[in-house]
Structure 1
Amino acid sequence: MEIGEKLRRLRKEKQLTQEELANRCELSKGFISQLENDLTSPSIATLIDILEILGTNLRDFFADEVNEKITFAEDDMFETDDEDLGYHFKWLVPNSQKY
C-alpha cells in the first residue's frame, strides 16, 4: 500500500497545501513532502495526528476500497426447465449449482 499517495489525495480533497497541513500537524513541509513521495514513514502517533487533521482515522485510511463493477455475459448463464414443477430456472453464475 502506498501511504503517500493516499495522504496526498486526502490533503488535496481538503484543499490544503503541504505547508498548511504541516503547520496544523506541527511538522515541516519537507516531511509532508517525503511522506507523500513514500521516501519516509511516519510513526503511528504522527500518522494519527495527520489523519485527524484530514478528517479520517486509521481504520478508514487502511480499509481496502475496491469498487468493482461485475457484469455477466450470456455465456455466464445456465438455464433449466422443470416441467413437473412448471418453472424455468436461470442461474447467473455458471456452474453455481455445483457449489
Structure 2
Amino acid sequence: MDIGHKIKQLRVQKGLTLEELASRSELTKGFLSQMERNLTSPSIATLNDIVEALGTTLAEFFKEEKKEKLVFHKKDFFVDERGHYTIHWIVPNTQKNEMEPILLELPQGGESFQMDPHSGEEFGYVLEGSITLECGDESFIVHKGETFYLLGKTSHLLRNDKKTTAKVLWISTPPLF
C-alpha cells in the first residue's frame, strides 16, 4: 500500500490543506509533505494521529477495497442440468445483487420451474427458438428476437412446445432463481 498517496487522497477528499492537517495532527507541514511523497515514513502512533485528524481509523485506512468483478467468462458460469431444462448461472453469487440473470435452455417439450407470485419484475429475451409464456390464465408465444417483461404478481413459467431447443436470457429482480 502507498501510505503517502492514500494520506494525500484522504486529505484532498476532506478539503484540507497540508497546513490544516498539520495543525489538526500536531505535526509539521514539511513532515506531512515528505510523507505524502513517500520520502519519509510515519510511526504507527504518528500515522494513527494523522488518520484520526482525517476522521477515520487505522482499521478503515488499511481496509482493502475489494474490486467488484465486472466481466464474467464461461469458466465462471455454473451449469445446472435438470430433467426439463438447463440453467446457466451467468453471473456468480447474484444473491447480493438487485437482479439475477440466467440463460435458460429448454429442449423440445421442456418446461421451466414455476415462479410463484413475488414483488419483483422479470425480463426475458428469446435468443433461439420460441417459447410459450404461461402467466396466470394467459399464454403468450414469444419468438426468437422477441422479449417479455412482467411483474411477478401471478404464477408463471416458460414452456417449449417446438422441436428445437429454445434459449432465453431471463432476468429477475430481486434474485429469485
Amino acid corresponding to residue 45 of structure 1 in structure 2: A
Q: Distance between the aligned counterparts of 1:11 and 1:89, measured in 2?
A: 49
Higher strand residue share: 2
SS of the aligned residue for 2:86 comes to strand
SS of the aligned residue for 2:12 comes to helix
Compared with structure 1, are the counterparts of its residues 92 and 37 closer, same or farther at alpha carbon in structure 2 (3 Å cutoff)?
A: same
The Cα RMSD (Å) is 2.1
| Deviation of 1:80 (Å) | 6.8
| Deviation of 1:81 (Å) | 5.1
Per the alignment, residue 97 of structure 1 pairs with: none
Per the alignment, residue 90 of structure 2 pairs with: 92
Q: Distance between the aligned counterparts of 1:5 and 1:80, measured in 2?
A: 46
Structure number with larger C-alpha Rg: 2
Higher helix residue share: 1
> What are the within-5 Å matches in structure 2 for residues 35-46 of structure 1?
35-46=35-46
Per the alignment, residue 47 of structure 1 pairs with: 47
Q: Which stretches of structure 1, 4 residues or more, deviate above 2 A after TM superposition?
A: 66-70, 75-82
Identical residues among aligned pairs (%): 53
Per the alignment, residue 134 of structure 2 pairs with: none
Q: Distance between the aligned counterparts of 1:10 and 1:87, measured in 2?
A: 51
Q: Distance between the aligned counterparts of 2:47 and 2:8, measured in 1?
A: 13
> What are the within-5 Å matches in structure 2 for residues 1-99 of structure 1?
1-73=1-73, 75-76=74-75, 77=77, 82=82, 85-92=83-90
Compared with structure 1, are the counterparts of its residues 87 and 10 closer, same or farther at alpha carbon in structure 2 (3 Å cutoff)?
A: same
SS of the aligned residue for 1:90 comes to strand
Normalised to the residue count of structure 1, the TM-score between the two structures is 0.77
SS of the aligned residue for 2:19 comes to helix
